[in-house]
Structure 1
Amino acid sequence: MCTLAVEVGYLRSFLTLLLLVTSNVSAIENSYQLILDNELAARKAEIDTFWDGGKTGSFTGVNGASLGFKHFVKPQARAGIVIVNGRTESYLKYKELAFNLSQNGYSVYTYDHIGQGLSARLTQDKQQGHIWDFDDYVSDLNRFYQQIVRKYDSEHLFLLGYSMGGTISSLYVQQYPTDFKALALVSPMHQPDTGLLGGAICKGAGFTTKVRDLLIETFDLQPRYALGQGAFKFKSFAENSPQLMTHSQIRFEQLQQLYTDNEAIRLGGATSHWLANACAAAKQSINEASEIQIPVLLLQAEKDIAVTARGQNKFCEQLAQSKNNQCEYTKPVIIKGAYHELFIESDVYRIPALSHILNFFESRM
């Protein structure tokens, strides 16, 4: 019994030491002082004050569309970062990320794409995710750069693209090779995950779109949701689990509260037009990757089911063939165990992801 008690004592001491070491490692790894899950509630007022201090406005996109934006310009900024968000999103979602980037010395610029967020819609159904031509997204990013960003920054600018914004950003630096010093891609949509049918879904959407275009032109009809898509629906964290988008309950619930408080930014499923255009654009972003002339970092979420690792790997392989550039470390940086939403993931995934990005940008100053 005495021996057993001693062994139990040693075990407790070892576990205590292990916990302390783990805690210290976590603290050291968070060298950019990123906000932790358990700090969000206590620091909400601080983040809100920062957010309210930014400039909100609109600029003119393709076909005269009004597109919303937000920026935070630091007089002595180390550089500027332009955030290009994903499908369904609004820049309102990026409050915590903008705060983190600003706290680390960067000016931050972000905006909403045509057809979503606080920007003009393209269909009568305001909850449809729709685009007539994917290149309009790229053109709008250039207009944001020309009309807003260049007023404050032009020498040291970095591009940060997430999901659909990763596709847009990839195409942008192919077409406009000198606007940004480096590109960081986070869970980029270089190939949408359309399930077991894969390319057949994209081809089917393309055919449906051609037929629908004819009907729209002939009978003045409206675009329709793609198969299985529909209007916006609120979700609980339990319902999020099968869809595997984030492990962080507090950040997930903050996002749902954002939709509760801002009806205008609610967006549902995609139309067949959006799907066909997205598939074609993702393929183009891979095929023309060798045209990119600036350094690229690609973060791949290991457990992502929204976009495929296959497409991201092909993008890096194609980029590596260029004499000008290659993916950082020649291949994607994999965030082990992470889901698609790296910017609102749990600390164990979010901190390494953002640390990779900030390290990458720092090395390109």
Structure 2
Amino acid sequence: MSKKKYFMNFGMDEDVVENVKRELGYIKKSGSFTGEKQNKIYYEKYKVKNEKGRVIISHGFSECIEKYLEVIYYFTREGYSIFIMEHRGHGRSGCLGSNATQVHIEDFNYYINDLKKFIDKVVIKKENLFLFAHSMGGTIGTMFIEKYPTYFKKVILTSPMFKIAIGEIPNSIALFFAKLAIISGKENEFIIGNTPYESSYDFISASTLNESRYNYYYREVVSNTKIQRGGGSYRWLYESLKAIKYILNKNNIKNINIPILLFQGSKDELVGVDGGKKFAERCSKCKLIRFENANHDIYSENNNILEVYLDTIFEFLEK
């Protein structure tokens, strides 16, 4: 039984969504800073009084801030200030691909450098600083703490992208083919099977089993061209696979000296479970929690999963 109350059908009742937006609007401030290659990086911050700490949210592939509205609300309600930026090539941080909705990156380290600038210039305070990172954001966050192990006090990884779903192909083989595509001049082309953004309603292929939460995010994205993103480029794939290889290197994992909570869903077909399991086995600071009948977006799942997930997170932060 959950100790706290969460929305049973967030997204189904539009009045609930509007009330959350209104309540968060009182403490919301937005802005931008100059990241790598002079790219403008958009961010939002939600500062609460008498904060227990500050949580940085690192979002996933093709996502934007809107997807984390409910999560932001719960964290602020529990006394944590939230800082969230849209990674380069996502949302209001600009389009970098050959198509307006393509996700592209020249060097995965740019994500890391942007995050460091965000903390140093916007978040500033490093005492009681926590990281909440999902999917691609988990790759960015984990690579960050391997390079800069003193920034965060604790880290929460949800479905981190430690493997990219390309059938049963191992990361090493996928990396070879991605490099081959770049050599063949396909660097800026969509990865096979990836397409530009499409507005068609497709809950069957969604990363959550909760349709009302899917509906909320679908409405937000379809009504705002600035946050619409589709698939990735071969260069993004190549850079991401290199980053995963770096993260899973035992010597780099040894740099981690803070507690990590890693969540996985049994129905996650986007990143699978092998990469996360391998990381948890190699990282003595990591605790792996697996949810049966959960998809990739655990933070948007049905309430029977979401309640346990959030309760576990808040207990972890407050220990």
d(CA) in 2 for partners of 1:270 and 1:123?
8
Aligned with 1:71 (options 42, 45, 53) = 45
Contact 1:165–1:188 (CA<8 Å) still a contact in 2?
A: yes
- Output the CA distance in 2 between the equivalents of 1:109 and 1:159: 10
Partner of 1:245 in structure 2?
A: 207
Query: 2:10–2:213: 8 Å Cα contact kept in structure 1?
Result: no
| Structure 1 residue matching 2:69: 3-state secondary structure | helix
Compute the displacement of 1:39 (Å). Answer: 8.3
TM-score normalized by the length of structure 2: 0.94
Structure 1 residue 121: Cα displacement: 2.0
* Number of the residue aligned with 2:107: 133
Pairing 1:166–2:130 present: no
Alpha-carbon deviation of 1:240? 2.9
Match for 1:338 among 289, 294, 299?
A: 294
SS in 2 for 1:229: coil
Check whether the contact 1:335–1:352 (CA below 8 A) recurs between aligned residues.
no
TM-score by length of 1: 0.82
- CA offsets, 1:265-307, max 9 Å, x none? 1111110001111111112111122211111110111110000
Find the counterpart in structure 1 of residue 194 from structure 2: 229
Closer, same or farther: CA 142–337 of 1 in aligned 2, 3 Å = same
User: Highest CA radius of gyration, 1 or 2?
Assistant: 1
Q: Is the 8 A contact 2:264 2:289 kept in 1?
A: yes
**Which residue of 248, 265, 279 corresponds with 1:315?**
279
Q: Where does residue 248 of structure 2 map in the other structure? A: 286
Amino acid at match of 1:158: F
Could you list the per-position Cα deviations for residues 93-124 of structure 1 after superposition, in whole angstroms to 9, with x for gaps in the alignment?
A: 21111011100111011010000111022234
Aligned to 1:273: 235
User: Runs of 5+ in structure 2 lacking a partner?
Assistant: none
CA drift at 1:40: 5.9
Matched position secondary structure for 2:100: coil
SS of the counterpart of 1:148?
helix
Cα shift at 1:33: 2.2
Offset at 1:154?
2.1
What is the SS of the residue equivalent to 1:283? helix
Asked if 1:55 is matched to 2:55, the reply is no
Aligned to 2:23, what secondary structure does the other structure show?
Answer: helix
| Corresponding residue for residue 26 of structure 1 | none
1:327 aligns to what?
A: 286
Specify the SS of the correspondent of 1:30. Answer: coil
* Residue of structure 2 in register with 1:83 after alignment: 57
Check if 1:183 corresponds to 2:147: no
Q: Distance in 1 between matches of 2:308 and 2:244?
A: 26
Bigger fraction of residues in helix: 1
Distance in 1 (alpha carbons) for counterparts of 2:90 and 2:217: 15
Equivalent of residue 197 in structure 1, options 169, 173, 198: 169
The 8 Å contact of residues 174 and 289 in structure 1, kept in 2 or not, is answered as: yes
State the shift of 1:38 in Å: 6.2
Q: Which has the higher contact order (CA 8 A, sep 6+)?
A: 2
Q: Quick one: distance in 2 between partners of 1:354 and 1:277?
A: 32
- Distance in 2 separating the partners of 1:195 and 1:299: 22
Taking only aligned residues, the RMSD between alpha carbons, in angstroms, comes to: 1.6
Query: Kindly tell me: are residues 338 and 108 of structure 1, through their superposed partners in 2, closer, same or farther at Cα, counting changes over 3 Å?
Result: same
2:226 to 264, 269, 282: 264
Q: Take 2:248 and 2:168, find their aligned partners in 1: how far apart are those partners?
A: 21
**CA–CA distance in 1 between the matches of 2:188 and 2:18?**
42
Deviation at 1:137, TM superposition (A): 0.6
CA distance in 1, matches of 2:81, 2:253: 28
Aligned AA (1:131): I
Q: Which deviations, in whole Å up to 9, do the C-alpha atoms of 1:179-212 show, x marking residues without a partner?
A: 1101110000011121133443332112212333
User: What SS does structure 2 have at the residue aligned with 1:43?
Assistant: helix
Q: Report the alpha carbon displacement of residue 317 of structure 1 after superposing the two structures with TM.
A: 1.2
Name the counterpart of 1:301.
Answer: 265
**Amino acid aligned to 1:305:** E
> Which residue identity does 2:273 align to in structure 1?
A
Provide the rounded CA distance (Å) in 1 between the counterparts of 2:119 and 2:48: 17
More deviation in 84-93 or 195-204?
195-204
- Displacement, 1:35? 2.1
1:266 and 1:202 map into 2 onto residues whose CA distance is 27
User: Displacement, 1:310?
Assistant: 0.7
Whole-angstrom distance in 2 between the partners of 1:211 and 1:39: 44
CA distance in 1, matches of 2:213, 2:220: 11
CA–CA separation in structure 2 for the residues paired with 1:135 and 1:211:
23
